[in-house]
């Protein structure tokens, strides 16, 4: 598996990694909450440059899952659902995880095709390369998304 | 792929023998070159699928197989419900009933080439492509359910097509056994303004030229001749199918314990066919198949409107419509006797040979058209099903080239505008809202589809009829 750092900056706390037909997302953070937030940012970066998405509208998101890995998939799928049904892109995230429950907010704006030039539409988060783990430097969350 | 794990069984077939938890062997089709370029994970994923309950005969990988989710893309596996067989949401994938439809135009290249730019712009304006562009048609709750039950037949009844369109579509345009009540409100909501849209990624609408004929008799029967212009579309069940895949994958992962299923990979999430979860998934997945058929039917209608404006003499009859992400209940011969099986084709095309009972009368003597998609600079192919594929792959063949390079690598290697300019020099017009999307889909990012269809022909999975080269490509 080869790795690709988002935004060309290897110090960034999210990354894309390669999967045959699709792309993997990875978020790093000092806390679990932060790792989930960064994975969401990696999701947006697949579609457009997050820096070009204005955090104008807040959308609340709540997820509950039997384990932390399914919670990550649920979180990303909830964002994909919000993007698809509200025609939005998000660039700022705040997560709060307790006992496999996620209370989050995502801030963004409606898609502007000319300005955002969305590269791809994400179909769903998968269980491939799915992991949520604590490492020496903090937390890492990853999975492949189908595009 | 490390070939030492495999036993050659003929020049184009390789067997992964039963080992560990495998219940049946794996068979990979392709020449040594194609296999060498396949990821080792294809064999690992075949071994995992081969371990699922109720699997019959063998699990197969088509010559275009590559690493997928649980199942390899290009994977074919059949299950017997009476033997505890399973249905797998992962084995169908997120884009339920993604497929290819091919339309005749009755026009020649020279007629279309004169107004190609105008046609490209008109198609881009008429057929919504990419993220952020919804369709013009919005369905209320009752119409959504009618669409999910009726598929392309529903669309035709609503004026999006001609009555004779239906028989040129698998399942005659309507998948039986769909239950809209098994489709969640969220999945329906996601489809609310996506009817008649292409989507993005490797989906496209192309105007193509018949560049080469391999089988004159078959081409004539299909209505293809060199220099003729056809229209091809590649898309699926849009947001509704994606949401059904998402929801049932999760439900099957959580329910697996309850059904005593040990999942070697969560992505293989499945449920017994004869269980509540299995039946609910089949009913919802069939509704998603109908959504895909209706979607391609509406895009057909939008395309016909554009051609009617610019080329009033054109007539866009359907050549055929195939789906390559499905699970279908079909009769297949097992140990000399016909047996109803649930055949998963994940990135594989059904390829019925001549005489198959499911074929419409006009195709009965020829065999089913098998539509293999290429895109932008790459060729597409029309193949025809062969009877020999029944014993080799439950009558299945390849579906496309598969990626040779990841999206991230492709977007670093190529600039979208340069790709568009280079293809324009070769006479291929690209229209897309996203230049980064074009770079990610650059022709060089895909494997050589020619090698794939050649292998499929040598093996006897299907036979080449015609090669199609793009003239105009609308990308999402």
Mean pLDDT of the region B162-168: 97
Q: Which of B89, B129, B246 to mutate to test the interface with A (most CBs of A within 10 A)?
A: B246
pLDDT, averaged across chain B: 94
Interchain pair A118, B434: CB under 8 A: yes
Task: Check CB contact of A1 with chain B, cutoff 8 Å.
Answer: no
Q: Mean pLDDT, to the nearest integer, of B27-33? A: 93
pLDDT score at B92: 96
- Cα separation of B231 and B429, whole Å? 14
Suggest the residue from A111, A121, A129, A131 to mutate for an interface test with chain B (most B CBs closer than 10 A).
A121
Contacts of residue A66 in chain B, CB cutoff 8 Å? 254
Q: Is the pLDDT of residue A5 over 80?
A: no
State the CATH number of the domain containing residue A33: 3.55.10.10
Q: Which of A4, A74, A121 lies closest to B200 in CB terms? A: A121
Cα–Cα distance between A84 and A47 in angstroms, integer?
A: 12
Residues across chain B: 476
Percent of chain A with pLDDT over 70: 90
Instruction: Write out the residue range of the structural domain in which residue A64 sits.
Output: 15-146
Q: How many residues does chain A have?
A: 147
Residue B382 and residue B468 in contact, taking contact as beta carbons nearer than 8 Å:
yes
pLDDT at residue A9 in the model: 38
* Domain-located, residue A102: yes
Torsion region of B431: left, alpha or beta (phi above 0 gives left; psi -120 to 50 gives alpha) = beta
Predicted confidence at residue B201, as pLDDT, reads: 84
Q: State the complex-level ipTM.
A: 0.89
Please report which confidence band the pLDDT of residue A22 belongs to, taking 50, 70 and 90 as the band edges.
confident
B408/A123 touch (CB, cutoff 8 Å), yes or no: no
Q: How far is B89 from chain A (nearest CA, A)?
A: 11
Contact B131 A111 (CB under 8 A): yes
pLDDT tens-digit series, residues A34-91: 999 999 999 999 999 999 999 999 999 999 999 999 999 999 999 999 999 999 999 9
Q: Residues B237-270: pLDDT tens digits?
A: 999 999 999 999 999 999 999 999 999 889 999 9
- Low-confidence winner among A5-14, B104-113, B144-153 (lowest mean pLDDT): A5-14
Burial string for B213-245 (b: 16+ CB within 10 Å, else e) reads bbbeebbebbebeeebbbbbbbbbbbbbbbbbb
Residues of chain A positioned with their CB less than 8 A from the CB of B134: 87
Whether B356 sits among the annotated catalytic residues: the reply is no
Please report, for chain B, the start and end positions of each structural domain, with discontinuous segments joined by +.
Answer: 3-404+446-475
Does pLDDT of A12 surpass 70? no
Structurally, chain A folds into a number of domains equal to: 1
- Tell me which of 3.40.980.10, 1.10.3720.10, 3.90.1860.10, 3.40.190.10 is the CATH number of domain B3-404+446-475: 3.90.1860.10
- pLDDT of A3: 41
Q: Is A68 on the interface with B (CB under 8 A)?
A: no
Q: Inter-chain contact A20–B66, Cβ cutoff 8 Å?
A: yes
Choose, from B104, B242, B356, B399, the residue flagged as catalytic.
B399
Q: How far is B293 from chain A (nearest CA, A)?
A: 18
- Check residue B358 and report its DSSP letter: T
Within-domain flag for A55 = yes
The tokens 């005659």 sit on which residue? B172
> Is A5 domain-assigned?
no
Residue A2 banded pLDDT, cuts 50, 70, 90:
very low
Residue A2 in domain: no
Which of A112, A116, A123, A132 should be substituted to probe chain B, the one whose Cβ sees the most B Cβ atoms within 10 Å? A123
**How do residues B223-240 score in pLDDT, each as one tens digit?**
999 999 999 999 999 999
Do B391 and B407 touch, CB atoms closer than 8 A? no
Q: Give the pLDDT of residue B1.
A: 87
DSSP states along A82-131: HHHHHTEEEEEEEEEEETTEEEEEEEEEE--HHHH-------EE-STT-E
**What tens digit of pLDDT does each residue of B345-358 get?**
999 999 999 999 99
pLDDT at residue A1 above 80? no
């Amino acid at each position: 598996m080869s790795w690709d750092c988002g935004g060309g900056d290897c110090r960034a706390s999210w990354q894309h990694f390669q999967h045959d037909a699709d792309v993997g997302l990875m978020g790093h953070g000092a806390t679990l909450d932060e790792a989930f937030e960064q994975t969401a940012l990696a999701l947006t970066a697949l579609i457009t440059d997050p820096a070009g998405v204005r955090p104008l509208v807040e959308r609340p998101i709540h997820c509950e899952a039997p384990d932390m890995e399914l919670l990550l998939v649920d979180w990303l799928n909830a964002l994909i659902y919000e993007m698809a049904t509200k025609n939005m892109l998000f660039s700022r995230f705040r997560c709060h995880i307790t006992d496999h429950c996620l209370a989050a907010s995502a801030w963004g704006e409606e898609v502007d095709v000319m300005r955002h030039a969305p590269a791809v539409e994400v179909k769903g988060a998968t269980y491939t390369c799915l992991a949520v783990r604590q490492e020496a430097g903090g937390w890492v969350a990853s999975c492949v998304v189908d595009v | 792929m490390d070939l030492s794990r495999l036993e050659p069984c003929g020049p184009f077939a390789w067997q992964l023998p039963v080992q560990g938890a495998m219940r049946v062997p794996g068979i990979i089709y392709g020449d040594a070159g194609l296999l060498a370029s396949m990821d080792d994970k294809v064999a690992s994923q075949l071994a995992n699928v081969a371990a699922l309950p109720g699997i019959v005969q063998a699990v197969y990988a088509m010559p275009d197989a590559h690493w997928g989710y649980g199942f390899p893309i290009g994977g074919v596996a059949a299950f017997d419900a009476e033997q505890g067989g399973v249905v797998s949401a992962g084995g169908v994938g997120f884009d339920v009933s993604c497929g290819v439809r091919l339309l005749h135009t009755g026009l020649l290249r020279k007629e279309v080439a004169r107004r190609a730019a105008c046609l490209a712009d008109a198609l881009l304006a008429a057929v919504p492509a990419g993220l952020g562009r919804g369709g013009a048609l919005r369905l209320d709750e009752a119409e959504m359910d009618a669409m999910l039950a009726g598929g392309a037949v529903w669309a035709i009844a609503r004026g999006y097509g001609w009555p004779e369109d239906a028989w040129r579509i698998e399942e005659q345009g309507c998948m039986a056994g769909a239950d809209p009540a098994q489709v969640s409100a969220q999945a329906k909501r996601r489809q609310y303004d996506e009817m008649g849209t292409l989507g993005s990624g490797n989906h496209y609408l192309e105007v193509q030229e018949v560049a080469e004929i391999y089988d004159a008799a078959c081409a004539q029967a299909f209505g293809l001749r060199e220099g003729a212009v056809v229209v091809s579309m590649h898309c699926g069940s849009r947001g509704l199918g994606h949401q059904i895949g998402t929801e049932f994958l999760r439900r099957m992962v959580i329910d697996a314990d309850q059904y005593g299923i040990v999942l070697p990979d969560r992505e293989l999430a499945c449920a017994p066919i004869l269980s509540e979860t299995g039946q609910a998934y089949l009913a919802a997945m069939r509704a998603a198949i109908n959504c895909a058929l209706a979607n391609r039917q509406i895009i057909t209608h939008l395309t016909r409107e554009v051609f009617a404006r610019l080329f009033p003499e054109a007539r866009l009859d359907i050549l055929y419509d195939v789906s390559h992400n499905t699970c279908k209940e079909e009769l297949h011969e097992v140990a000399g006797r016909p047996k109803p099986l649930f055949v998963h084709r994940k990135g594989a095309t059904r390829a019925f040979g001549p005489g198959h009972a499911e074929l419409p009368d006009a195709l009965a003597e020829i065999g089913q058209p098998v539509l293999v998609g290429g895109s932008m600079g790459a060729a597409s192919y029309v193949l025809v099903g062969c009877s020999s594929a029944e014993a080799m792959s439950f009558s299945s063949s390849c579906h496309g080239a598969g990626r040779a390079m990841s999206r991230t690598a492709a977007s670093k290697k190529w600039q979208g505008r340069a790709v568009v300019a280079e293809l324009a020099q070769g006479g291929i017009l690209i229209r897309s809202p996203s230049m980064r999307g074009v770079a990610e889909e650059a022709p060089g990012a895909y494997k050589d589809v020619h090698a794939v269809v050649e292998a499929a022909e040598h093996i006897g999975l299907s036979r080449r009829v015609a090669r199609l080269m793009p003239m105009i490509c609308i990308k999402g």
